[in-house]
Amino acid sequence: MGGLIWRGVASGGRNKADNWWHFHRHRWVQMMNGTAMQKVLAGDEAAAPTFALLPPGVYNMASKNKRLPTCSYSSPFFDLVKPKSMAKQYKYKYLPDIDGNSFSGRWRGFLRSTSCPLKATIYTEWHDDRLVPWVHFVPFDNTFMDIYAIMEFFLEGHDAQGRRIADEGSRWASQVMRRDDMLLYVWRVLLEYARVVDPQRDRLAFIGDLVKEETQRYK
């Protein structure tokens, strides 16, 4: 299927009546909501309290209505929708990944799929140095404002570039984001943690000749 899809819950913190509009997943859903976008473009800023849109005419992309589970205070802005399995989501060409309470648990699956993954995050993860933006995935910033321009680029005649990123990401992830790679990374972290908490940590891996050489160099 063409286009972009995102489904998720309103995680990312404990939202309440006096702060829910500050939450990034609420902002994302409203920015992807065609009805809310049309109202904001018509001058009704109160229709989308989670974000401030750039001036009309900057972007030219219509978005479909994808909404979050709601509370009484947010129900005027969101509706409940039925869940959609990841297998069905993988049928879409573009899969944006949005942080929840912490880093996303979907990212590895997105990369290993045949869809083009898009990523906005504040977290540093173990595989970051193994992936190249615009080669293995498409980055977008945490305001989400650039997502309109990014999707306009792909949907307006650059589908082949999106397909190439999807293929490169899937191929690379199958080589460097295997279960074995994750186990090795955790093993190395545990080794370092064991060294740090060891009462004799100052004497572990001590190499006298190197220390002596460094001391003489700076005399």
Cβ neighbourhood burial of 50 (10 Å; 0-12, 13-18, 19+): buried
Helix (H), strand (E) at residue 159: helix 159-176
- Specify the range with the lowest mean pLDDT, choosing from 54-63, 91-100, 176-185: 54-63
pLDDT (0 to 100) of residue 32: 84
Distance CA 161, CA 180 (A): 30
Distance CA 197, CA 133 (A): 36
91 pLDDT more than 90: yes
Structure tokens at 199: 């009462």
For residues 78 and 106, the model is more confident at: 106
Domains parsed from the chain with CATH numbers: 20-177 (3.40.50), 180-217 (no CATH)
Structure tokens at 213: 């050489």
Determine the length of the chain.
Answer: 219
Q: On the CB side of 92, how many CA atoms lie within 13 Å of its CA?
A: 17
- State pLDDT tens for residues 62-80: 444 444 444 566 666 767 7
95 pLDDT more than 70: yes
- Specify the range with the lowest mean pLDDT, choosing from 7-11, 12-16, 149-153: 12-16
Mean pLDDT for the chain?
A: 82
Distance CA 154, CA 17 (A): 37
Percentage of residues of the chain with pLDDT beyond 90: 37
